[in-house]
């Protein structure tokens, strides 16, 4: 896959506050790219620079092979952005909101009608077109936010905490839609999120801390590097678990044993096979990765 976003040695300060410090990363075409960090880590600053809404101090930004310095308007047409807070007009109908947005891209008349029908079918909002946006549920409004971002057929969809405040069923439904967009149109998705299970499904993850990259890699690589494995053992007494000589904690109907990696788990199983009649091995979670890398939870709590 080719690089669709290339950022090199990006710097941005606000007075004495160094929001972004020597930031360099690449996003591959068609991938789900997760950009993680607590509030103030530099995520929003980077996105605003990428979208041409904020000037950088130094460094380079290229999107689809185009330099932000040379052709910012060309880059803006390659991007569709879904902000955490909806930018739709609550008093206007869904159709009127999308029609006014489309006009900004020169999409009018029959062309708009065709595109509206396509998006309404894709995102399942045919029955909402006449309703005021202010009367929609959170999940419905999110679908219209995504439709607004997709009107001009961008190659990159930027999702800034798109599922914050939504119930699990609605979040799952939205991710199904996003997955369809990626598979059908090879769309690149640039995601910020506070839900680590969403980041766990990404193709590549960058974790920011104080404007710098603290860690990056695939979710599996990050888990292998920054967390261990867990063996959950069922049907054994605590005295037997102690024989393993590994840290453990009792859970509802089992014991959860911590090991550095899968190889260590294998060694314990071979050494004490009689204790492993009923067990399962799981990787650490992205929450563990984030906490171990930054010393914080995504809520901002210090380790």
Cβ pair 96, 150 in contact under 8 A: no
Q: Which of 47-56, 161-170, 214-223, 287-296 has the lowest mean pLDDT?
A: 161-170
What does the alpha-carbon distance between residue 137 and residue 212 come to, in Å, rounded to a whole number? 37
Eight-class DSSP state of 302? B
What does the alpha-carbon distance between residue 93 and residue 114 come to, in Å, rounded to a whole number? 18
- Give the distance, in angstroms, between the CA of residue 155 and the centroid of all CA atoms in the same chain: 17
Cβ pair 218, 225 in contact under 8 A: no
pLDDT reading at 302 higher than 60: no
Cβ pair 284, 228 in contact under 8 A: yes
pLDDT reading at 44 higher than 60: yes
What does the alpha-carbon distance between residue 200 and residue 204 come to, in Å, rounded to a whole number? 9
Single out the residue of 100, 79, 77 nearest to residue 88, CA to CA.
100
89 compared with 181, residue with greater pLDDT: 89
Q: Average pLDDT in the 235-239 region?
A: 96
212 compared with 172, residue with greater pLDDT: 212
The three-state (H, E, C) secondary structure of 68-116, written as one string: CCCCHHHHHHHEEEECCCCCCCCCCEHHHHHHHHHHHCCCCHHHHHHHH
State the pLDDT confidence band at 298, using cuts at 50, 70 and 90. Answer: low
pLDDT reading at 10 higher than 70: yes
Express each pLDDT in 63-79 by its tens digit: 999 999 999 999 999 99
Report pLDDT for 3. 96
Cβ pair 133, 125 in contact under 8 A: no
pTM given for the model: 0.86
- Strand 188-192 and strand 156-160: the pairing is parallel
What does the alpha-carbon distance between residue 176 and residue 77 come to, in Å, rounded to a whole number? 25
Single out the residue of 53, 83, 84 nearest to residue 45, CA to CA.
53
> Percent of the chain scored above 70 by pLDDT?
98
pLDDT reading at 172 higher than 80: yes
pLDDT reading at 208 higher than 70: yes
Cβ pair 209, 300 in contact under 8 A: no
Residue with tokens 């050494």: 271
Maximum Cα–Cα distance for the chain, whole Å?
Answer: 75
Cβ pair 292, 273 in contact under 8 A: no
- Strand 3-14 and strand 79-82: the pairing is unpaired
236 compared with 297, residue with greater pLDDT: 236
Q: Where are the alpha helices (DSSP H) in the chain?
A: 43-50, 72-78, 94-104, 109-123, 138-150, 168-185, 196-199, 219-226, 238-242, 262-271, 286-294
Eight-class DSSP state of 273? G
Cβ pair 196, 290 in contact under 8 A: yes
Single out the residue of 219, 234, 191, 188 nearest to residue 284, CA to CA.
219
Report pLDDT for 300. 43
């Amino acid at each position: 896959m080719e690089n669709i976003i290339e950022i090199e040695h990006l710097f941005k300060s606000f007075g004495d506050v160094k929001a972004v410090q020597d930031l360099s990363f690449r996003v591959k075409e068609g991938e789900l790219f997760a950009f993680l960090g607590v509030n103030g880590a530099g995520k929003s600053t980077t996105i605003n620079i990428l979208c041409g809404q904020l000037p950088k101090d130094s460094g380079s930004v290229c999107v689809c092979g185009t330099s932000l310095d040379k052709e910012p308007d060309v880059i803006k047409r390659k991007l569709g952005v879904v902000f955490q807070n909806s930018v739709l007009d609550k008093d206007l109908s869904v159709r009127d909101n999308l029609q006014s947005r489309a006009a900004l891209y020169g999409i009018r008349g029959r062309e708009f009608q065709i595109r509206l029908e396509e998006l309404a079918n894709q995102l399942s909002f045919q029955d909402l077109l006449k309703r005021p946006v202010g009367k929609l549920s959170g999940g419905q409004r999110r679908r219209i936010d995504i439709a607004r971002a997709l009107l001009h057929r961008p190659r990159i969809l930027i999702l800034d905490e798109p599922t914050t405040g939504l119930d699990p069923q609605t979040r799952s439904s939205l991710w199904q839609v996003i997955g369809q967009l990626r598979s059908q149109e090879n769309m690149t998705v640039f995601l910020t999120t506070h839900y680590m299970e969403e980041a766990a499904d990404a193709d590549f993850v960058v974790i920011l801390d104080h404007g710098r990259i603290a860690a990056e890699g695939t979710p599996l690589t990050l888990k292998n590097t920054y967390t261990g494995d867990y063996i959950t053992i069922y049907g054994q007494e605590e005295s037997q678990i102690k024989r393993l000589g590994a840290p453990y904690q009792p859970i509802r109907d089992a014991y959860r044993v911590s090991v550095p990696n899968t190889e260590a788990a294998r060694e314990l199983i071979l050494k004490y096979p009689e204790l492993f009649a009923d067990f399962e091995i799981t990787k650490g979670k992205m929450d563990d990765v984030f906490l171990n890398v930054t010393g914080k939870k995504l809520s901002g709590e210090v380790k």
